[in-house]
């Protein structure tokens, strides 16, 4: 297995390099709380920050990046297009709004947040095709160095073949041992689409399972570290989130051990189809 470090990167299908671990800011409030969290994450070694217009904290993320003292080109910034902003013209406006809030000239990755253009998944409001046409324009304009999707299933990705001219570089999905979507992972890797793992701790349910606890003890690591390492060894890019400085260090300190194939299989077997976020097949 390739030796990984916190500074390792993967090359996306358009040649852009992306860190193999990121810091998520979902539900971290706008203002000083998110500013402090992002600054601390950057201090301990994270170089990818994952936000979204829906999170309502893009301004704070941008402020933290500017005040970090780290050159902009060394920080990989992701944001996302919200459902009700889908559609060709709306999407073109939404990226400008996000860049204005971030006070950045570009983002490194822009994602379609969900495969629905509303608050349900009714097909009458589905705008995936025209939205992706705008995403391609955003990519060509250099406002995003790479474009991708989030929470897309194989069905959605297959559908894209009918209208895309630029394939998605990334699919960010819920991915953890309780939701081991092996077929989706293999599909994405087979089509040169990087997989990012959001909600990698399954809403902290990693702490409630005796099997996970026993594996953590074996490696003298925390259940959180075991789950991050599991994602990495599946070739997925985890996006752990915390506001605790010590947990930030812990979550990125996963490059000095390797889960055995037996322990990987044990963790894989925990999968029960548990969605701690919305199931993209049943968006409500």
Is-contact 215 263, C-beta < 8 A? yes
Distance between CA atoms of residues 83 and 1, nearest Å: 39
Q: Domain residues of the chain, as ranges?
A: 9-204+231-255
Q: What is the DSSP string of 193-204?
A: -EEEEESTTTTT
Q: Provide the pLDDT for residue 121.
A: 52
Residues 153-181, mean pLDDT to the nearest whole number: 97
Give the confidence band of 282 by pLDDT, cuts at 50, 70, 90.
confident
Mean pLDDT of the chain: 95
pLDDT tens, position by position, 8-42: 999 999 999 999 999 999 999 999 999 999 999 99
Residues 52-70, mean pLDDT to the nearest whole number: 98
Q: Provide the pLDDT for residue 119.
A: 64
CATH superfamily entry for domain 9-204+231-255? NADP-dependent oxidoreductase domain (3.20.20.100)
Structure tokens at 273: 């189809």
Catalytic residues: 55
Is-contact 28 241, C-beta < 8 A? yes
278 burial level (CB within 10 Å; 0-12, 13-18, 19+): middle
pLDDT tens, position by position, 66-104: 999 999 999 999 999 999 999 999 999 999 999 999 999
Q: Return the number of other C-beta atoms located less than 10 Å from residue 1's C-beta.
A: 6
Judged against a pLDDT cut of 50, whether residue 139 lies above it is answered with yes
Judged against a pLDDT cut of 80, whether residue 191 lies above it is answered with yes
Place of tokens 């069905």: 155
172: Cα separation from own chain's centroid: 5
């Amino acid at each position: 297995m390739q030796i990984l470090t916190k500074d390792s990167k993967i090359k996306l299908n358009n040649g852009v390099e992306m860190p193999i671990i990121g810091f998520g800011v979902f539900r971290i409030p706008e203002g000083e709380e998110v500013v402090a969290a992002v600054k601390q994450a950057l201090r301990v070694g994270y170089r990818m920050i994952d936000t979204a217009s829906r999170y309502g904290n893009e301004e704070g993320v941008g402020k933290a990046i500017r005040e970090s003292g780290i050159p902009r080109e060394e920080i990989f910034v992701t944001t996302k297009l919200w459902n009700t902003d889908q559609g060709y013209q709306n999407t073109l406006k939404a990226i400008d709004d996000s860049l204005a809030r971030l006070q950045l000239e570009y983002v490194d990755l822009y994602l379609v947040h969900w495969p629905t253009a509303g608050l349900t998944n009714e097909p009458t409001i589905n705008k995936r095709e025209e939205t992706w046409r705008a995403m391609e324009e955003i990519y060509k304009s250099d406002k995003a160095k790479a474009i991708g999707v989030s929470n897309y299933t194989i069905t959605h990705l297959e559908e894209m073949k009918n209208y895309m001219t630029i394939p998605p570089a990334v699919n960010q999905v819920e991915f953890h041992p309780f939701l081991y979507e092996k077929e989706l992972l293999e599909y994405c890797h087979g089509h040169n689409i990087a997989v990012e793992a959001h909600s990698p701790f399954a809403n902290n349910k990693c702490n409630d399972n005796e099997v996970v606890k026993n594996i953590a003890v074996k490696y003298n690591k925390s259940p959180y570290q075991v789950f991050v390492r599991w994602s990495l060894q599946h070739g997925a890019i985890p996006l752990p989130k915390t506001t605790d400085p010590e947990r930030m260090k812990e979550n990125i300190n996963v490059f000095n051990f390797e889960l055995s194939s037996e322990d990987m299989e044990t963790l894989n077997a925990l999968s029960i189809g548990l969605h701690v976020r919305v199931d993209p097949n049943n968006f409500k």
